[in-house]
Structures are given as structure tokens and as C-alpha cells.
């Protein structure tokens, strides 16, 4: 029976490592693009409302993803939606910094990078959770 638990533990750890690596690669790629693209001031035009997932026995909360408009090259106006969520709805007309692709200004990101702090916290927590669960399986009175 312990063998089954160790197999489940290993599959969980592989899935957690894959998800973490995927998130880190996506975040680094986005940050590299933001660093290399020109930046401009945009203005909030509204927001899309959604819910947090409620994972880990947390209550679900409403989140807001700002929609924005900015003036790109040659004075053309472009719109986008931020990947950064906020607890409160952003005030329409407020400023935010936008990085845009000069070859295709329809591709843009809000300039914001709290991801390093988040990833710096998630990775040690996942490692400790994995070690603790491996240790806990060893104490179970199963044969």
C-alpha cells in the first residue's frame, strides 16, 4: 500500500515541477519581451471581472483585469487586457505603463513584474510540502 502512496506522491511532484517550470519559462519570456519592447503610457478603459479559483480551502474572491488603450507608433490607438489582476476595479482613465511589440502593436503587456517574488515563495513551499509528505508516508502504519 505504501508503494501506491509513493507512486502517487511521485506523480504529484512531477506534475508540480512541470507546472512550476512552465510558469517560470512563461514569466521569463514575457519579462524578456517587456524589457526589449518600447514602453508608453496607457490609460485604463475598464476591466474584466472574474473569480479566484478558491484553491486550498480559500474563499473565492472577485478579481479585476484592467483593459487599457494606448497610442502606438504613427499615432494609432490600440487596446489590450492586462494579465495582472487586482482586488478592486481599476479607475477608468487612470494611467498604467504598457510595453508593446513594435512589429505588431496589437501584442502588448502591462509593465509589472511581481512574479519573481511569487516564484521565489512558491518553489520553497512546494519543496517543503514534497519533503514533508514523503516523510509522512513513511510513518503511516501500512504494509
The secondary structure of 122-136, three-state, reads HHHHHHHHHHHHHHH
pTM exceeds 0.75, yes or no: no
Query: How do residues 76-97 score in pLDDT, each as one tens digit?
Result: 999 999 988 888 888 999 999 9
- pLDDT tier, 114 (very low <50, low <70, confident <90, very high otherwise): low
* Beta bridge mates, 122: none
- Structure confidence at residue 123 (pLDDT): 81
Q: Is residue 56 over pLDDT 90?
A: no
First to last CA, the chain: 6
Amino acid at each position: 500500500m505504501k508503494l501506491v502512496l509513493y507512486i502517487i506522491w511521485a506523480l504529484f511532484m512531477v506534475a508540480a515541477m512541470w507546472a512550476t517550470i512552465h510558469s517560470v519559462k512563461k514569466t521569463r519570456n514575457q519579462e524578456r519581451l517587456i524589457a526589449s519592447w518600447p514602453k508608453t503610457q496607457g490609460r485604463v478603459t475598464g476591466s474584466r471581472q472574474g473569480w479566484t479559483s478558491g484553491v486550498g480551502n480559500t474563499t473565492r474572491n472577485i478579481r479585476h483585469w484592467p483593459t487599457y488603450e494606448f497610442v502606438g507608433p504613427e499615432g494609432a490607438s490600440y487596446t489590450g487586457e492586462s494579465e495582472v489582476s487586482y482586488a478592486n476595479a481599476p479607475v477608468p482613465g487612470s494611467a498604467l505603463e504598457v510595453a508593446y511589440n513594435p512589429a505588431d502593436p496589437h501584442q502588448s503587456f502591462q509593465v509589472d513584474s511581481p512574479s519573481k517574488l511569487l516564484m521565489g515563495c512558491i518553489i520553497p513551499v512546494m519543496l517543503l510540502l514534497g519533503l514533508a509528505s514523503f516523510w509522512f508516508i513513511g510513518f503511516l502504519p501500512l504494509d
